């Protein structure tokens, strides 16, 4: 059971055509803030702030090019907070002028169902466990990358990076993972994750094509962490086949990914499920 509140300050998008993105309220507003009964000041900014600003830039550019554009980002704030915090959340969104179309309040256990019933194209969270849980249930989800370095933070360009180790690996290779100790459930999980990545990639590809090669407010990238260059090439071709021509590509082949990610500072990191699946700890 959820309660959906429309934001009167934001023009409602056509949800069927838009890229509906659900963001957890803990990412938009700092959850560490003390809960003082009756407090009314705006909540403190959370990790997703530069993401929210960047999305706004993309939407504005799209509307400038075509005022009837329907392929826009449509943000739902997903909150598991207690009822007394609801109005404060809505007021804070208004205070910061955030482009949030709807507020969805529900219990933690009902979150996945809410995401599914609202046909969310992407669920974003800073918690990898939540992302993996959603992916396993077939809800497209991605990690809101924690931007640690304020100097690299961009608010005027949305950066989306796709991880490509599973996307670019052949069926044969993924099959071979069985011998490395992965269970059927886990392997099925990768297939599901790959499917939901595809859906989002197609949308990003379409959106990216609205802009030219240079000066685009949307920047897309691909990163392979473990695989060889051929897997990376294969991932590039797969994404291309889905209509997404990425701007940047990084092939790490086992080299540490954090230095590169810290430099790229993506807002959205689309995991293809492999990294944080529990079974993977068996490998190390």
Partner 1 sequence: MSEIKPTDTAATNAGEEKDWAASKYFSDSLKTKKPRPPKPQNAVTIAVSSRTLFNMVEERKIYEEEGVEKYMAHMNQQKRENEPLMPGVAFPLVKALMTVNSRLRQLYPDSEELFDIVLMTNNHAQVGVRLINSINHYDLTIERFCMTGGQSPIGYLKAYMTNLYLSKDGEKVTEAIKEGIAAATMFTSGDVENQLSDTQLKVAFDGDAVLFSDESEIIVKQCGLDMFFEHEQEFENIPLKQGPLKCFLEALGKLQRKFYAKNERMTCPIRTYLVTARSAASSGARVLKTLRSWGLEIDEALFLAGAPKGPLLQKIRPHIFFDDQMFHIEGAKELGTIAAHVPYGIGQKYHKGELIEQTVKDVKDKK
- Binding span for partner 1 by CB under 8 A among 36-44, 46-54, 98-106, 165-173: 165-173
- Which residue, 99 or 165, is less far from partner 1 as judged by CB? 165
Quick check: 8 binds partner 1 (CB under 8 A)? no
DSSP string, 226-267: SS-HHHHHHHHHHHHHTT---SEEEE-TTS-SHHHHHHH--S
CB-wise, 61 or 257, nearer to partner 1?
Answer: 257
198 is an interface residue for partner 1 by CB under 8 A: no
- Pick between residue 44 and residue 229 the one whose CB is nearest to partner 1: 229
Binding residues for partner 1 restricted to 247-276, rule: CB under 8 A: 247-260, 262-263
Between the alpha carbon of residue 169 and those of residues 11, 104, 236, the distances in Å are 42, 37, 11
Residues 45-74 that bind partner 1 (CB under 8 A): none
Interaction pattern, residues 14-43, with partner 1; x per rule: CB under 8 A: ------------------------------
SS3 string, 116-179, reads HHCCCCEEEECCHHHHHHHHHCCCCEEEECCCCCCCCCCCCCEEEEEECCCCCCCHHHHHHHHH
Q: Which residues of 69-104 are buried (b: 16+ CB within 10 A; e: fewer)?
A: bebbbbbbbbbbeeeebbebbbebbeebebbbbbbb
Residue among 141, 60, 157 nearest 99 (CA): 60
The reply on whether position 171 binds partner 1 by CB under 8 A is no
Nearer to partner 1, 190 or 250 (CB): 250
209 binds partner 1 (CB under 8 A): no
CB 266 to partner 1: min, Å: 13
Footprint of partner 1 (CB under 8 A): 165, 169, 173, 176-177, 180, 212-214, 219, 221-222, 225-233, 236-237, 240, 245-260, 262-263, 280, 283-284
């Amino acid at each position: 059971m959820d309660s959906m509140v429309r934001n009167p300050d934001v023009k409602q998008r056509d949800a069927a055509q838009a890229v509906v993105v659900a963001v957890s309220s803990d990412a938009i507003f700092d959850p560490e803030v003390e809960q003082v009964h009756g407090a009314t000041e705006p909540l403190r900014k959370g990790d997703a702030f530069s993401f929210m600003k960047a999305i706004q830039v993309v939407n504005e550019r799209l509307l400038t090019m075509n005022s009837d554009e329907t392929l826009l980002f449509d943000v739902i704030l997903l909150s598991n907070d207690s009822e007394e915090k609801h109005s404060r959340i809505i007021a804070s969104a208004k205070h910061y002028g955030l482009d949030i179309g709807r507020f969805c309040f529900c219990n933690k256990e009902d979150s996945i169902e809410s995401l599914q019933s609202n046909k969310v194209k992407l669920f974003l969270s800073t918690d990898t466990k939540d992302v993996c849980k959603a992916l396993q249930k077939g809800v497209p989800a991605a990690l809101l990358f924690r931007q640690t370095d304020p100097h690299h933070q961009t608010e005027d360009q949305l950066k989306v990076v796709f991880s490509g180790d599973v996307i670019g690996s052949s069926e044969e290779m993924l099959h071979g993972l069985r011998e490395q100790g992965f269970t059927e459930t886990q392997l099925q999980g990768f297939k599901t994750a790959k499917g939901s990545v595809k859906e989002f990639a197609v949308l990003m590809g379409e959106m990216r094509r609205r802009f030219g090669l240079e000066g685009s407010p949307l920047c897309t990238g691909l990163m392979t962490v473990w695989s060889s260059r051929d897997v990376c090439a294969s991932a590039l071709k797969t994404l291309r086949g889905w209509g997404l021509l990425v701007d940047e590509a990084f092939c790490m082949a086992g080299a540490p990914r954090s230095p590169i990610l810290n430099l790229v500072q993506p807002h959205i990191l689309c995991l293809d499920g492999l990294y944080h699946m529990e079974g993977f700890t068996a490998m190390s």
